[in-house]
Every structure is written in structure tokens, then in C-alpha cells.
Amino acid sequence: MLELAEINLQKYQISELFGFLPAQPPLSRLPHSCYQIWEDTLDEFASPCKYESIRQQMDNMPVLSTEALATEPEWRRAYVVLSIMSQIYIWVGYQPSKKLPRSLTLPLLEVSAHLGVEPCASYASFCLWNVRPVPGLDYPDADVYTNPENLTIINSFTGTKDEEWFFCVSASIEVIGGRMIPKMLDAIDAARNGRREQVTEFLNELAGCLAQIDATLGRMYEKCAPSVFYYRVRRFLTGSKSMGGVWYEDIDRPGDLRSYAGGSNAQSSLIQLLDMVLGIDHWNEGGNKASTSAGSFHRQMRGYMPGPHRDFLQLMSRVANIRPFALGHPAGSDIRAAYNRAVTALGQIRQKHLVMAARYIIAPALKENGKDGVEVLRGTGGTDFIPLLKDARDRTVERISSGVCTNC
């Protein structure tokens, strides 16, 4: 049996204070002069007058070796730069590009292989490794990160506060939930050894943490306008899958297309971890088509997570035991009540997320496309999970409303 006390979170690139965010703020720029052309080209995209020529600039860039990358922060920064440039190359024009140049594809494949992530832009590109404290707060404690006002993004597609706020809110949520990870491991160990009071205390604390996440998610409306997100930001988060795929020059044969999902909060390891810890596996229940599709979608999203984070989720899927331990006690017990409070809090987050998707994606799509907009609805990065999210939400709410979440 795995000894939970022996789990080294650093091995999985998890911080006790910041969760799946790096323990130190990510690099704002690669320190090696040989990569200056990458950074300079990305910087030039901030000027709208460069939009028409940016693809040609990337076509003309030399193919650079990754041998100068020495530390994990440098590999992550290289991935952020290359994957964001790839998104720009595909989506900046009036028509999306069906190919990526060798100047991007060759180093992107090498960097992605090192990090164990798909060779495309992802949640890690936009959020985990692209958010840092505002100047003057380079080494704050975790409490500073829990307020998105204290954060900023390093690279932006649109230069809008709306885009920055979207990812800073997401990063704050990562820290609020992520600093519970050590306590999750302690609670699993307590459940193994029958320490009911400790598990109950954890569940009550987790319910409070989820309420804080819910409140922080609700702050999205403060500085991210649905119209700006839908019409300006969203296209740069869209994956190549939505337009039939992209040819990676000098990697694939001409005509062979790679199809990847876009960057999406569904690629957050924290979101799936919360389900695992509470034993909520509603993606695979019921045997219906929607459940099967949703389960497949969430498994696919793990491929877009950094490799060590994905390994940690796999570990947690094997050791999670809080649900059966809690439900092994009488219905009126304090631990059952605490468990239900935590599940209810998670259900409220799902409901708020669905309402948010309606305001930021569904309503603008219907306004733009009329009733036909229903046929083209996609999630944040162009993923087709909105109907599945609704199905999962409905089933979660139904279970919670029964009073005791014996099926959660």
C-alpha cells in the first residue's frame, strides 16, 4: 500500500502554497540571447500594425535548438512563447492558417515532449505559466494570489483588461484550491486509519474553500465583458480541431493534419482533482451517450495538462477514499453532513460555471447566429462540452437535492 507520507509533491511540480501554479513566478522572458528573436517577435504582436506581417516574420525565423534551455522555468517559458506564437500564426488573419511553419513546429515538439504536454497552446500556456504577481509583489505569500487584483499576465493576445482578468481569476482559483492539496493527502490517510474527526474537519474546511472559489469565480463579471471575450479573446483560445486540423511543417507529411483542442479551464488539474477527492465520478455513470462522451472529454483534457500534474491525478485516482469512508457512517452523522456540504458547494460552482458559459458564449452565439447558433456552440477553447456540462450539472443537482449524496 502506498504510504501517503512519502509522496513528494515537488516530484509532481506541485507547490504546497500555490498548488499547480509554480512555486516561483514564471519567467517573463527567456534569459538567453539566442532566443531573443522568439521574444521580440511575440512582443511585436502587441502592436496592431504588425498583424498583417506577423505570419511572414514567423516564416522567416530560423529554427532554433532547445539545447540552451537549462531549467524547468526556462522550458516552461519556451513552451508559453512557442505555443502562443502558434496560436497567433493560426488565427491572426482573416482566414485561419492550415499550417504551422518549421520555425515553430520543430522546437515546439521538443519543448512539449520535455514537459509531457500536447504540442499546442493549452491552459498551462495561458494561465499556469503566464500569470505572475504585479510588479512589487514578486515573492508574495499565497494570500496575495487569492485576489486577482494582485496578478497580471505576461503575454496577451488582445492587450485588453478583459483577457487579463479572465486568466487572473482562474489563477486565483488555482491557488485557493491548490493549497488544500497537502490537507487532501492527510485526510485520505486519516480515512485509511479510521480517524473520523479529522476527515470531518477536512470536509468542512474544503466546503469553505469551495465557497471561496465560487465567490472568486463570480468576480469574473467585474472586468471581463462577455462581448470582449466572445468577439476578441475567444478566437485565440480556439484549437485546431475546430477548423479541421493543422499541418506541422517538417514534422508531418503534406496533407497530414494534427487536431488539438483549444485552451480551456477543463484542462485545469485542480478541477478534476476536486472530483476525485470527493469521489464524484458522474462522468461515467448512467451508461448514456452524454455520460460516455463527457467522460471521454475529460480524459482527453488530461493530455493537455503538464505531465507531472497528470501523473498526480493518476495517483490520486488510485488512493482517493473519502467518499466510501464518509458514506460508511450513518445518514445523520456529522461526517455525512460535512461530506454533503462539500459536494453541495462543488455543485454550486458547476451551476455558476454553466451560467457563465451561457453569458460569455451561448448568448453572444445566439445573437450572432440566431437560432442556428445552438448548432455551433463550443466551450472556451472551441471544445464541444457545453451540453455535457449541462447534463452533469443536472445530475449533480438532482443528487444533492435528495438530501444525502449517496450517488455522488
Residues of each annotated binding site for heme b: 353
Binding site, annotated residues: 353
Question: Helices in 179-304 by DSSP H: which ranges?
Answer: 181-192, 196-218, 220-223, 226-228, 234-237, 269-278, 289-302
Q: How many CB atoms lie within 10 A of CB 67?
A: 8
Contact between 196 and 329 (Cβ < 8 Å):
yes
Residues in the chain: 408
Q: Distance between CA 98 and CA 75 in Å, rounded?
A: 26
Q: 301: buried, middle or exposed (CB in 10 Å: 19+, 13-18, 0-12)?
A: buried
Rounded Cα distance, 135 and 98, in Å: 38
Cα 126 to its chain centre, rounded Å, is: 9
In DSSP terms, 131 is beta-bridged to: 153
Radius of gyration, CA atoms only, the chain:
21
How many other β-carbons are positioned within 10 Å of the β-carbon of residue 188?
A: 21
Amino acid at 157: F
